[in-house]
Amino acid sequence: MTGSMDKLRVVIADDERPARSFLSAILRTFKDVEVLGEASNGMEAVQMIEKLRPDLALLDLQMPEVDGLGVVRLLRKNRTPLVVFVTAYDEYAVRAFELNAVDYLLKPVESVRLRQALDRAKERLEREDYQVEETERVRTAVAEYEAAGGKPLLQRIPVRRRDEIVLVPVRQILSVVADGELLHIRTSDNETHTICYRLRDLAARLEPSIFVRLGRGTLVNVDMIKRVVTMPGGTFSVVLTNNEEFRVSRLQSRVLREQLLRL
């Protein structure tokens, strides 16, 4: 939107066709709105948003594989539009969005409430610095929602690789190593993927009986441990099936001893 007379350019993402059609039908009744496209899943939404550069994305929170939060994580920061999440009532989501002033619509979406969200988006677009501020706002809300326990355990991790998105099965992960704000994921087929995620947030979304922390910056798959070596001072070193070796912190060595090394 470059001026007050321009139309608000919108993309819709929802895996349920009736929900997409319903939103699209309402939006088309507004003369100041242009629907650029409808995505049927999160990966399609990322590609559509980065190609079409909408002003606003209406993202369903509960899409399979890559949900609305995953879309936000995968978008390049300079391609992230204003976002309104569409969701069934979810106390964790509502709390996170309200705390961070991120707009959301509850299903079934009402025309009046949608109009309010559109007007709010138009107001924000008129601010010169809206993109940086809004992108940080929505990413903070995503992190808080996940940290609050509002998300189910991950079965696959969506990873950006150039212009495509790869779904990495959690069971194939050997290790996750933190490097500042990035996480490096090594898989059983010897591939390394990098995502922007906090280790503690990812750990909270992985099955605790399968993934164990070795220290502040390392997480490994228990099923991928080949042997455990006793080190001086009562600590351990862990060797994985690909022969990667990691030292275990003193605290986590006690945890490891209790969880894995007792008959």
What pLDDT digit, counting tens, does each position of 207-245 carry? Answer: 988 999 999 899 999 999 999 999 988 899 999 999 999
Averaged pLDDT, 185-214: 91
Residue length, the chain?
A: 263
CATH superfamily for 8-147 is Response regulator (3.40.50.2300)
Averaged pLDDT, 82-111: 90
pLDDT at 131 (0 to 100): 73
Q: 41 forms bridges with which residues in the sheet?
A: none
Reply yes or no on whether the pLDDT at 3 is more than 70: no
Q: Where are the domains of the chain?
A: 8-147, 156-260
Q: Are 1 and 44 in contact (CB under 8 A)?
A: no
Q: For all residues of the chain together, what is the average pLDDT? A: 89
What pLDDT digit, counting tens, does each position of 124-180 carry? Answer: 988 867 777 888 888 888 888 877 766 778 899 999 888 788 999 999 999 999 998
What pLDDT digit, counting tens, does each position of 41-53 carry? Answer: 999 999 999 999 9
Cβ burial, residue 162 (10 Å; 0-12/13-18/19+)? exposed
Q: Which residue, 253, 168, 184, is CA-closest to 212?
A: 253
Q: What percent of the chain has pLDDT over 70?
A: 96
Reply yes or no on whether the pLDDT at 54 is more than 90: yes
Q: How far apart are CA 199 and CA 157, in angstroms?
A: 13
Q: How far apart are CA 28 and CA 25, in angstroms?
A: 5
Q: Which CATH architecture has domain 156-260?
A: Beta Barrel (2.40)
Q: 245 forms bridges with which residues in the sheet?
A: 239
pLDDT at 88 (0 to 100): 86
pLDDT at 200 (0 to 100): 86
Question: Which one-letter amino acid corresponds to residue 34?
Answer: E
Reply yes or no on whether the pLDDT at 262 is more than 70: no
Reply yes or no on whether the pLDDT at 4 is more than 80: no
Q: What percent of the chain has pLDDT over 90?
A: 60
Q: How far apart are CA 119 and CA 1, in angstroms?
A: 13
156-260 has the same fold as 8-147 = no
The pTM of this model reads 0.78
pLDDT at 44 (0 to 100): 95
How many C-beta atoms lie closer than 10 Å to residue 67's C-beta? Answer: 24
